[in-house]
């Protein structure tokens, strides 16, 4: 690369394995419909292998990106988790204890923190992101949210995204607006 042989330093990065209490993925748009005004967070107990690999139906949260409110929450029975076996250091699959299977694995504060972090990552890269994350058991709560990987979201890159034209209070309002619009068109003929 044309660099001089002298004065160069070399280092080796050593990463610590995350001791994840909970982990998962987040999307800075709704992957079901491409809605850019939402963040979707999916989570399971332990390491994120079970979520990324599709072994569990994770807890799922939809957060409004502007108001930072949780607008939808689905708590699923989470039966499998991956953890690091302390005696060997191996990653092993374990059955989630019955009392935790239907318990939310994230607090509302953690969900909103993830949504804020996802929005910041999206703003940094300038486009919607697919982010893998974990919450470490051993770190203090002010520093335990770890971003493991971020990459551009690809499913909606070339598709038409859902873009609400204007907000309606209910489906009834939408129907009335549509009927009124049709009547106006008929009267103008």
pLDDT in tens, 87-132: 888 999 999 999 999 999 999 999 999 999 999 999 999 999 999 9
When divided into structural domains, the chain yields a total of: 1
C-alpha 38/C-alpha 73 separation (Å) is 13
What average pLDDT is seen over the chain? 86
Parent domain of 68 = 20-160
Note whether residue 70 is domain-resident.
yes
Q: Rounded to two decimals, what is the model's pTM?
A: 0.76
Q: Rounded CA gap, 189 and 185, in Å? A: 7
pLDDT for 171: 59
**Tens of pLDDT, residues 152-181:** 998 876 565 455 555 545 556 655 656 665
Which residues are CB-contacts of 154 (< 8 A; sequence separation ≥ 6)? 130
Comparing 75 with 159, the larger pLDDT belongs to 75
- Under a CB-based contact definition with an 8 Å cutoff, are residues 26 and 128 in contact? no
93 in a structural domain: yes
CATH of the domain at 32: 3.30.470.20
Count the residues in the chain.
Answer: 189
């Amino acid at each position: 690369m044309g660099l001089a042989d002298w004065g160069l330093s070399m280092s080796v990065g050593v990463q610590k394995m995350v001791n994840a209490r909970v982990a998962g993925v987040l999307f800075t748009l709704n992957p079901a419909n491409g809605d850019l005004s939402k963040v979707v967070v999916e989570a399971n107990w332990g390491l994120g292998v079970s979520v990324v690999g599709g072994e569990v139906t994770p807890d799922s949260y939809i957060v409004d990106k502007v108001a930072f409110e949780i607008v939808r929450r689905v708590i699923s029975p989470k039966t499998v988790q991956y953890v690091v076996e302390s005696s060997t250091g191996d990653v092993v699959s374990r059955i989630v204890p019955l009392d935790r299977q239907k318990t939310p694995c994230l607090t509302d504060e953690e969900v909103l923190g993830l949504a804020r972090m996802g929005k910041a990552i999206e703003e940094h890269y300038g486009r919607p992101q697919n982010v893998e994350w974990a919450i470490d058991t051993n770190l203090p709560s002010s520093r335990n949210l770890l971003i493991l990987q971020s990459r551009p979201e690809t499913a909606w890159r070339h598709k038409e995204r859902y873009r609400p034209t204007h907000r309606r209070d209910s489906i009834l309002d939408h129907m009335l607006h549509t009927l009124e619009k049709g009547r106006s068109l008929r009267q103008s003929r």
